[in-house]
Chains A and B, each alone.
Chain A
Amino acid sequence: MKIGVVTFPGTLDDRDAARAVRLAGAEAVSLWHADTNLHSVDAVVLPGGFSFGDYLRCGAIAAQAPVMESIIDAANGGLPVLGICNGFQVLVESHLLPGGLIRNEHQHFICRDQKLIVENVDTAWTNGFKLGQEITIPLKNGEGGYIADAETLNRLEGEGLIAFRYSEVNPNGSVNNIAGLKNKKGNVVGLMPHPEHAVEPGFGPDTSAAMRSGVDGLTFFTSVINQLVNA
């Protein structure tokens, strides 16, 4: 089982994403932005960071990178793709997911342990959760305000394409508290919070059980492995 992790210039969380892949039990394969070869990976993670310095728009230049041509083709063919934070922005700019992400409503960069509600478990990356489950994973972004026109929002709500909603606090002004989306097929998922930062006891968010013991993010990676094994 090989899961590719893409590095663009300015990507920050590729090492953490690769580590999460390994902790979940798969082999992490580094993919380079300038290389169209996906090295036969079974799934791809687009990690967080500030690809190309967030120039033009967050994720806009990365969406034009050679590796994205291959990923867009493969995703349209059913390859599981997870976009985290800047990776979510890349998915939106690649038109694999609809809408856009703008500067947080309150203008501040935000970094907090964020509660989410799992709104859809019929995806490659969320099938290990229970529908309506509350999970906690870190959120850290400056431009995480999700936005879409009324027609798109109606479609997202009507077709059940919202994967995660913010719980208790809407940290960035996202419409309908949207934290993450899936595509129709369920192979592509994107979200602003960071599952790869909540995969190992001692380094995750606090829980009622113990400090830093939160590992809710690991389920994203075990979900895709389960789906690939059972495919």
Chain B
Amino acid sequence: MPKIIVEVMPKADLLDPAGKAVANALQRKGHSEVTNVRIGKRIELHYANTPTEADLQAAKQIAADFLSNGVIEDVVNVIVEN
């Protein structure tokens, strides 16, 4: 299944409570080598055929307009995966 993968992360300077909770749990488990955790989203857009350049551009637009909120999140990656 051809896909476009969109990865969205909370902004770097933003509190990420879920990431913080996981980081705290890892500390409790003794994984002191892990200094921080941040949790984002991986969103798969599926296509019937291999996505074209136009599809990729459209996906980038969708990622910016709908899949992420620029106030609180960054789109860190939009890539085609066949």
A and B interact physically: yes
What residues make up the interface of A, taking CB atoms closer than 8 Å to B? Answer: 56-57, 60, 64, 92-93, 98-100, 102-107, 145, 147-149, 152, 173
A36 CA to B9 CA in the complex, in Å? 33
CB distance from B20 to the nearest CB of A (A): 8
Complex contact B69–A148 (CB within 8 A)? no
CB distance from B80 to the nearest CB of A (A): 22
What residues make up the interface of B, taking CB atoms closer than 8 Å to A? Answer: 10, 14-15, 17-18, 21, 66-67, 69, 71-73
From A92, A149, A173, B15 is in contact (CB under 8 Å) with A173
Question: Does more than half of chain A's interface fall in helix, strand or loop, or is it mixed?
Answer: loop
Given contacts A102-B10, A147-B72, 19 further A-B contacts (CB under 8 A): A56-B66, A56-B67, A57-B69, A57-B72, A57-B73, A60-B66, A92-B71, A100-B69, A100-B71, A102-B14, A102-B15, A102-B17, A102-B72, A103-B17, A105-B17, A145-B15, A147-B14, A152-B71, A173-B15
Residues in B neighbouring A103, C-beta threshold 8 A: 17-18
Can you give 8 contacting A-B residue pairs, CB < 8 Å?
A100-B72, A102-B14, A102-B15, A104-B17, A106-B17, A107-B21, A147-B14, A148-B71
Which residue from chain B places its CB closest to the CB of A143 in the assembled complex?
A: B17
CB distance from A51 to the nearest CB of B (A): 15
CB distance from B48 to the nearest CB of A (A): 23
A161 CA to B10 CA in the complex, in Å? 26
Residues in B neighbouring A152, C-beta threshold 8 A: 71
Residues in B neighbouring A173, C-beta threshold 8 A: 15
Complex contact A105–B69 (CB within 8 A)? no
A100 CA to B68 CA in the complex, in Å? 11
CB distance from A178 to the nearest CB of B (A): 13
Residues in A neighbouring B10, C-beta threshold 8 A: 102
A147 CA to B71 CA in the complex, in Å? 8
CB distance from A200 to the nearest CB of B (A): 35
